[in-house]
Structure 1
Amino acid sequence: MIHPPAIAEWIEARTYRERLTLSALSGAVGALGLAPFNLWVFGWVGFAGLLLLASLAATARRAAWIAWFGATTYFAVALHWIVEPFFVDAARHGWMAPFALFFMAGGLALFWALPAYLARRLLPQAALGWRLAVLTGLVLLAEAARGVVLTGFPWAFPGHILIGSPFLSAAQFGGGLGLNLIVLGFAALMAGLVLRSLGWTVLSLAVAAGLSVALIAVAPTPSAQDPEAPIIRLVQPNAPQHLKWRRDMIPIFFQRGLALTAADPEIEGRTPDLVIWPETSLPQILDRSDVARAEIAGAAGAARVVVGAQRFEGVRPVNAMALLDAEGRIEAVYDKHHLVPFGEYLPYAETLSRWGLRGLAEVLPGGYVPGPGPALIELGGALGTAFPMICYEAIFPGYIREVAARPDWMLHITNDAWFGTLSGPYQHLALAQLRAAEQGLPLLRAANTGISAVIDGRGRVVAALPLGEGGLLDAALPPALPPTVYARTGDLPLVALFLLGSLAAIVAGRRSARH
């Protein structure tokens, strides 16, 4: 009989409290794989430690607590930026910040605690390798569920540590869930090699096959840049959130946007064909902004302008994106449909409003109402068709599959001033890179305080404006690549694979325990 090596023996000699501490440390190390650190090897080690510790737990309850502690630390480190919005108006909301971080991190950690509990409960007598296999499969399923449960929050997936690595090209096959499979599969393989248990053989072969696909996956061959490709100007006015809506500062930021729009071309001899302003950058209500829109059109010359705005649907405000023609007239409007809970709207608003609570990003009274859903903006000519996303919507991979036809590129406007300056804006940019790599489509994003960027169809940032600086960026629209495998299939095949793999591992593990 092969005994576990020294690492497993050392862990088994630790007290329960020491194992909780080790689990928390593993979670913190795992978070270092995400932007802006991008230490993806550390991320793999952290997840391997977390899976190993949960698999070695003596009881199902202890397995759940160990997984919860580690995952809570992971999400707390990864998502610490969520405290930033509460300090925009610190006197009113600052006291909520630590509670928001704890409940967010602890709540998301339940998606790890439940799989750990079930894996230990379903396989009480099975070899550790089979328990590890089941745990990995159930975590993959739980992370997929996290992307949709309670409106979904597919941020800080384990697989997101690969966005800053050569493995990003694997997203063309499986999207974010495919990256989860690579990360957690390899982490489980690392943990399994420590355990050296017989039941590990099947899972290790499956993971090795998956990793082989990822390793041989080359980035899509880029199409040659069309010398006549349209030039798009990204405007980054850099309006800090605590100043953005101050009456004395509103005209200053608007004039800054006009000056950037009217600036000389950055590409010699190529005036912009389209100018993009960030989210909520129009200082007036869209339907009452004739003067402001005329000024924007005058600054843009012959170019059309996409501007983030607010408008009313009846008596309720909407977060919108408007396409303006060369005269400042409104050609098209897209309304944000996936709003930020507790940010742009307040669940159970009638009850909570009695306590004086309202959405953190609520600029107009009553909170925003959602638009009708995903849509396309027809720009015509060389600009083709764009798929619009406003801020939070860019973290969801599936909406682009709901429109009638494949767009030529993706358009993202956002106001990341809410997220601080340490990690939130960098993680949001990374998710935009993932969206581009998944679909093989270029993505252009204009962000109020940064990071405005041009991303090609392989997910590479080819040009960007630094965080916290005002400026403009002129760039040729990168070409679209052929539709990827993921663009054709979406997440369903992988979810089915996770489910069938988990069921097969449970059956095999229980059968091996009986023998």
Structure 2
Amino acid sequence: MGGFALLLVRTTGWRRAAMLGWMFGIGHFMLGNAWIATAFTYQANMPAVLGWFAVPLLALYLALFPALAAGAARALAGRVALPLAFAGCWTLSEWLRGWLFTGYPWNPFGIVLLGPFDGPGLAAIAPWMGTYALSGLAVLIGGLLAAALASRRWLPLALASVLLAAGMYLPAGAGASGKTPFTLVQPDIRQEQLDDPRYFEDAFRKTAELGAARVPGERRLLLWPESGVPDYLEDGYPQRYYSATTAFADPVLARRRIGLVIGPGTTLLTGAVDLEVADDHAVGAYNVVTALDADGAIVGSYAKAHLVPYGEYLPLRWLLEPLGATRLVPGALDFLPGPGPQTIDLGPLGKAGVQICYEIVFSGSVVDAAHRPDYIFNPSNDGWFGPSGPPQHLAQARLRAIEEGLPILRATTTGISAVIDARGVVRDHIGRLQAGRMDGMIPPAAPPTLFARAGNLLALAWAVLFLLSGLVVSRRRAR
């Protein structure tokens, strides 16, 4: 970013600046989204080579947002100090990227300020800014460095250095212990096995054995990943929709079996799938988390609201399907969106917020503010994401924990599973392509943060503040 900002400082004209921003964005988003190409190798409906075309095409679109930020900042530069103009415009463009056409906020630039697992770094200030404004701050630091190099003035360099140093040395402190016991399972079921009925029983047994209670009858929350159950758990669908070839052909018996497996005292949160049925025909599906007690009774559920375009549903299906396009997740039915963030009350095990997989990357959209949870459960199947996607996904989950002041528990099929406290510190994790479990107490929630109360209005307010500050600085220089 420092090099990009330096070029922007030396560029004249908003058109050249916008082109520079677009070129930067293409490189940035091609590298950051390279994992998408891997997802195409796990389906047979479309040639896998299309993945290597999908990545640059997506980058060409996403790069429009840095182009917009750079062009607008350069256009304002005569009246607003350029580093602050760039910070404000970048904040607005990232918010727009996370909202337009249902949004794609993957890899916000502010993630570069996130510290290692044992500390939040400069991202510790996200509760007072939000992720999009944190990105603006990262851009401001780069802009100050560029201004210092271009003008050979020491003040911008000193300010940038102080900000960076503050981030490096912000202490995380000792984390408090919680009171809710949990077991989190990562079964390491590979993507090529998840959708193959021949592996359903083995996958279920492996997951169940990993999560078995070590003390009979202990009260605990058991967490399985997305795709944790290989069939429908709700009864009442036409029988032809249940897998007759598996032990889950009868959903009532399947739930009882799960209840016996998890044992008394345990409540399970697991990924599953529900159907939308009309006139005795399935018209869509829901990617859900289902809560089951030891009797096999469903005590709560949540349906994913932010779906992955071309992954879980095919936009413009009526147009694209005749051309041979399909979605990456196998199946003829598109997934349908749920109503949005919800909190599941699990009694003595606390109030669970749920965000499934990709949903966790949407800043300001992960919590039911009217029913604030005690923690967020984020089940995911990151087997689609190759080696580069899971670390990015985990980093974005850490930003949500910091913003909202809530612990997040990530249970994934192949990694990286993690327990993240309300400061964004990773308390424990299981690496990629490993099977294992984590046991402990869920870290406590912090009091509602400023961001938890204001949401992305806070980030937009910071964008305005950046721009107004730049206006003041520019006028003082003019004197």
Shorter chain as normaliser: what TM range? 0.7 to 0.9
Query: CA separation of 1:194/1:389 partners in 2, compared to 1, >3 Å: closer, same or farther?
Result: same
Query: CA separation of 1:463/1:400 partners in 2, compared to 1, >3 Å: closer, same or farther?
Result: same
Please give the secondary structure, in 2, of the residue aligned with 1:354. Answer: helix
Question: In the alignment, does 2:306 pair up with 1:338?
Answer: yes
Name the counterpart of 2:67: 113
* 1:415-434 matched pairs, under 5 angstroms: 415-420=381-386, 422-434=387-399
Whole-Å Cα distance in 2 between the matches of residues 372 and 66 of structure 1?
40
Give how far 1:193 is off: 0.3
Whole-Å Cα distance in 2 between the matches of residues 263 and 415 of structure 1?
24
Give how far 1:208 is off: 8.8
**Once the two structures are superposed, what CA deviation does each residue of 1:256-315 show, in whole Å capped at 9, x if it has no partner?**
1122232636xxx99451211111221111224223222221111111211111111222
2:262 to 294, 300, 303: 300
**Once the two structures are superposed, what CA deviation does each residue of 1:370-394 show, in whole Å capped at 9, x if it has no partner?**
112211000011x211111111111
**Once the two structures are superposed, what CA deviation does each residue of 1:395-419 show, in whole Å capped at 9, x if it has no partner?**
1121245442221111111111110
Name the counterpart of 1:36: none
Query: CA separation of 1:441/1:501 partners in 2, compared to 1, >3 Å: closer, same or farther?
Result: closer
Give how far 1:511 is off: 10
Question: In the alignment, does 2:116 pair up with 1:171?
Answer: no
* 1:394-405 matched pairs, under 5 angstroms: 394-405=360-371
The answer to whether the 8 Å contact 2:122/2:166 transfers is no
- Amino acid of the structure 2 residue aligned with 1:502: L
- Amino acid of the structure 2 residue aligned with 1:276: L
Name the counterpart of 2:411: 446
Name the counterpart of 2:4: 50
Name the counterpart of 2:190: 240
1:87 to 41, 46, 52: 41
**Once the two structures are superposed, what CA deviation does each residue of 1:77-96 show, in whole Å capped at 9, x if it has no partner?**
12211111111126723131
Identity of aligned residues (%): 36
2:462 to 482, 488, 497: 497
Name the counterpart of 1:231: 181
Tell me the TM-score normalized by structure 2: 0.86
Name the counterpart of 1:359: 327
- Amino acid of the structure 1 residue aligned with 2:18: A
Specify every segment of 5 or more residues in structure 1 that has no aligned partner in the other structure, as ranges: 1-46
Query: CA separation of 1:206/1:502 partners in 2, compared to 1, >3 Å: closer, same or farther?
Result: farther
The answer to whether the 8 Å contact 1:59/1:120 transfers is yes
Question: What is the CA RMSD across the aligned residues, in angstroms?
Answer: 2.9
Query: CA separation of 1:390/1:204 partners in 2, compared to 1, >3 Å: closer, same or farther?
Result: same
Please give the secondary structure, in 2, of the residue aligned with 1:92. Answer: coil
Whole-Å Cα distance in 2 between the matches of residues 270 and 297 of structure 1?
12
Name the counterpart of 2:209: 259
Give how far 1:502 is off: 2.5
Please give the secondary structure, in 2, of the residue aligned with 1:370. Answer: coil
Give how far 1:254 is off: 1.2
Specify every segment of 5 or more residues in structure 2 that has no aligned partner in the other structure, as ranges: 236-250
- Amino acid of the structure 2 residue aligned with 1:275: L
* 1:265-284 matched pairs, under 5 angstroms: 271=218, 273-284=220-231
Question: In the alignment, does 2:154 pair up with 1:191?
Answer: no
Please give the secondary structure, in 1, of the residue aligned with 2:71. Answer: helix
The answer to whether the 8 Å contact 1:261/1:299 transfers is no
User: Which region of structure 1 is more displaced relative to structure 2, 496-505 or 54-63?
Assistant: 496-505
Tell me the TM-score normalized by structure 1: 0.81
User: Which region of structure 1 is more displaced relative to structure 2, 247-256 or 287-296?
Assistant: 287-296
Give how far 1:480 is off: 1.7
Whole-Å Cα distance in 1 between the matches of residues 111 and 331 of structure 2?
34
Instruction: Indicate the structure whose relative CO is greater, using CA pairs within 8 Å and at least 6 residues apart.
Output: 2
2:344 to 360, 377, 395: 377
The answer to whether the 8 Å contact 2:343/2:372 transfers is no
Whole-Å Cα distance in 1 between the matches of residues 347 and 105 of structure 2?
33
Whole-Å Cα distance in 2 between the matches of residues 231 and 131 of structure 1?
51
2:54 to 76, 100, 111: 100
The answer to whether the 8 Å contact 2:220/2:267 transfers is yes
Give how far 1:115 is off: 2.5
Name the counterpart of 2:95: 144
Question: In the alignment, does 2:30 pair up with 1:76?
Answer: yes
Question: In the alignment, does 2:423 pair up with 1:458?
Answer: yes
* 1:116-131 matched pairs, under 5 angstroms: 116-123=70-77, 126=78, 130-131=81-82
2:316 to 340, 343, 348: 348
Whole-Å Cα distance in 1 between the matches of residues 288 and 331 of structure 2?
13
Query: CA separation of 1:213/1:164 partners in 2, compared to 1, >3 Å: closer, same or farther?
Result: closer
Whole-Å Cα distance in 2 between the matches of residues 324 and 270 of structure 1?
16
- Amino acid of the structure 2 residue aligned with 1:339: L
Question: In the alignment, does 2:86 pair up with 1:135?
Answer: yes
Whole-Å Cα distance in 2 between the matches of residues 161 and 338 of structure 1?
25
The answer to whether the 8 Å contact 2:87/2:139 transfers is yes
Paired positions, count: 454
Name the counterpart of 2:15: 61
Query: CA separation of 1:485/1:219 partners in 2, compared to 1, >3 Å: closer, same or farther?
Result: farther
User: Which region of structure 1 is more displaced relative to structure 2, 253-262 or 174-183?
Assistant: 174-183
Question: In the alignment, does 2:432 pair up with 1:467?
Answer: yes
Please give the secondary structure, in 1, of the residue aligned with 2:345. Answer: strand
Give how far 1:117 is off: 2.4
Whole-Å Cα distance in 1 between the matches of residues 376 and 184 of structure 2?
14
Whole-Å Cα distance in 2 between the matches of residues 236 and 216 of structure 1?
33
Query: CA separation of 1:95/1:244 partners in 2, compared to 1, >3 Å: closer, same or farther?
Result: same
**Once the two structures are superposed, what CA deviation does each residue of 1:313-342 show, in whole Å capped at 9, x if it has no partner?**
222111111111111111111111111111
User: Larger helix proportion, structure 1 or 2?
Assistant: 1
